[in-house]
Structure 1
Amino acid sequence: MSRIVYVNGEFVPEEDAKVSVFDRGFMFADGVYEVSSVIRGKLIDNEGHMVRLQRSMNELDMPAPATNEEIEAIQKQLIENNDLDEGLIYLQVTRGPADRDFAYPKEPKPSLVLFTQKKNVIDNPIAETGISVITVEDIRWARRDIKTVGLLAPCMAKMQAKAAGADDAWLVEDGSVTEGSSNNAYIVTKDGTIVTRYVGNQILNGITRRAVLALAKEHDYNIEERLFSVEECYEAAEAFVTSATMFVQGVVKIDGKQIGDGKPGPVAKKLREYYVEMALAEA
């Protein structure tokens, strides 16, 4: 049985889902998106995703296709329609269809598309083994704080990693790590300090990032939000990433160099435990 997806006011089988060839998301990547985790059939940390979605649309002068309450109702209906116990919901808003022109249309009719994906987000096997990353040049545009659908550069970075036999890539600008291809990046120094880049236009302020840093502060971890170099990564006691789909995931190798003992470190493992505990309580 095919999934039920939502497209501009209708719940339809995925094979019947269509948008206009003139949709600006298709022609210009003129769109934004969010991904929310689902555990036990419940949305996790969804309010933060809705707030960030609104911010992304505001930054691009894009009208909202529906209220946050209406969108959340659609999300919940999709969870029910697809009997989704664990996984994620992808949500995309574009400026909608218009004849091809670089200038925004005067009265756009935004498109809204949502779909679900089943996935083990809690008992993910790689949580035990960790992932390997390579560092690559960050070639993305200068407004990475807006969660746009223009993801070709991260796709290229991910494919560079796979070609090198790694799982993912960390993006580097002027010698410092910005973030992962689809996640926020962290190292843990030998004195136990968690280091991650400060929030600005250069990175996406992850919803999971905010929650994990709040949990780290609650449990008295020392945190530094600052630039950190590739060389610091090689010397780190451990490293990890956060995202809505991976929660907290240990990084065990960077550019072929083993980090720590080659297994997810104690800080990453503990923060993952805290986050999963919080998510289960919310679910």
Structure 2
Amino acid sequence: MYVYMNGQFIEKDKVAISPFDHGFLYGLGVFETFRIYNGHPFLLEDHLERLNSSLDILNIEAAFTREQTTENLNLLLAKNDLRDAYIRFNVSAGNGEIGLQTERYNNPNIIVFAKSLPPAGGMSEKKAVLMDLPRNTPEGSERLKSHHYLNNVLAKREVGPAMNREGIFLTRDGVLSEGIVSNVFWYKDGTLFTPSVETGILNGITRRFVIALARNAGIEVREGFYKKEEAESADELFLTNSIQEIVPVTEFEGKSFPGKSGELVNLLFGQYAAYRETLWSRTQLDGGAHT
């Protein structure tokens, strides 16, 4: 497998970074994960928008355009003979002296990994379990998709390795927040609910896209602060992330849910699948002039 690093395509076993990279020393780095569907990087503009914003917050001198990123992705896919892939686009602060730095980082390390995925198919299902470990609070004013992942790692250890289980965090105040690697939605009496970004969750790209899909379909969407009992009483419950897409839940806190036979998840998933190979941004759903 070849990896893109700082303008070059390198065999994965030959990729190296310095131990003085502040992404390693202090967790100063961010990443995006997204899918390539038949050569198309789905919602790439939305991912780059979030990535660029996060880099600015971290004082890292880097910004990425759709045009240049697409060119590099196409070359990386060709080097690895891929048409459908998982992409991790990673930017770390770069080298510095030992000690906390206040100056801007001008030479970040940019590494893009591609991993083969099968062509997209239907929905998978999961069981959701409430965790004892609370969700940590964001380090700043909002949660970034950063290298600081210990809360998620400890949560995964609590839940265990099974791929058909997802752990759901509560905040320290007992409010529903998000999954270990997902955002959470539930549907009740014609309304779609999801925790507010103000609970400290990551504002997922797929989360935002699904909200846009639902509203375009005439479904009311409410974002707020909710207790677990509100999700337990739902008609449908599902998870979202950029690799697994929309994942219906079959069981949560001892209650059964319809899973992939649910009416709403089938509606949303059908629309999601129709856009996989064409959309660059969720704004196109509102008539944006992206081509």
TM-score w.r.t. the length of structure 1 is: 0.89
Structure 2 counterpart of 1:17: 15
Determine if the alignment matches structure 1 residue 278 to structure 2 residue 291: no
Deviations 1:158-217 (CA, angstroms, capped at 9, x unpaired): 22112799611111011211111111111112x131100123371111111111111111
Is residue 2:62 matched to residue 1:55?
no
Name stretches of at least 5 consecutive residues in structure 2 with no aligned partner: 281-291
What is the Cα deviation at residue 80 of structure 1? 1.7
The root-mean-square deviation of aligned C-alpha atoms, in Å, is 2.2
Structure 1 pair 70/163, CA: closer, same or farther in 2 (3 Å)? closer
Q: In structure 2, what is the Cα distance between the partners aligned to 1:278 and 1:107?
A: 37
**AA partner of residue 274 (structure 2):** E
2:266 is aligned, of 254, 266, 269, to 269
2: distance between equivalents of 1:192 and 1:65?
Answer: 41
Give me the identity figure in percent: 26
For 1:80 and 1:32, the matched residues in 2 are separated by 25
Which residue is 1:7 aligned to? Answer: 5
CA distance in structure 2 between the partners assigned to 1:4 and 1:165 by the alignment: 27
| Alignment: residue pair count | 276
Retained in 2: the 8 A contact 1:186–1:194? yes
Q: Secondary structure at the match of 1:49?
A: helix
Counterpart in the other structure of 1:140: 136
Tell whether 2:110 aligns with 1:112: yes
Amino acid paired to 1:102: L
Aligned ranges 1:1-283 → 2 under 5 Å:
3-64=1-62, 69-104=67-102, 108-120=106-118, 122-123=120-121, 127-128=123-124, 130-136=125-131, 137-142=133-138, 143=140, 144-162=142-160, 167-173=165-171, 174-189=173-188, 191-200=189-198, 202-255=200-253, 257-261=254-258, 264-282=261-279
* Cα distance in structure 2, aligned partners of 1:260 and 1:49: 31
Q: What letter is aligned with 1:40?
A: N
TM-score (structure 2 length as normaliser) = 0.87
> What secondary structure, in the 3-state scheme, does the structure 2 residue paired with 1:35 have?
strand
Separation in 2, partners of 1:161, 1:48: 30
Moved more, 147-156 or 31-40: 147-156
Q: Which consecutive residues of structure 1, in runs of 5 or more, have no partner in the other structure?
A: none
Matches of 2:162 and 2:129 in 1, distance apart?
8
Letter in 1 for 2:101: A
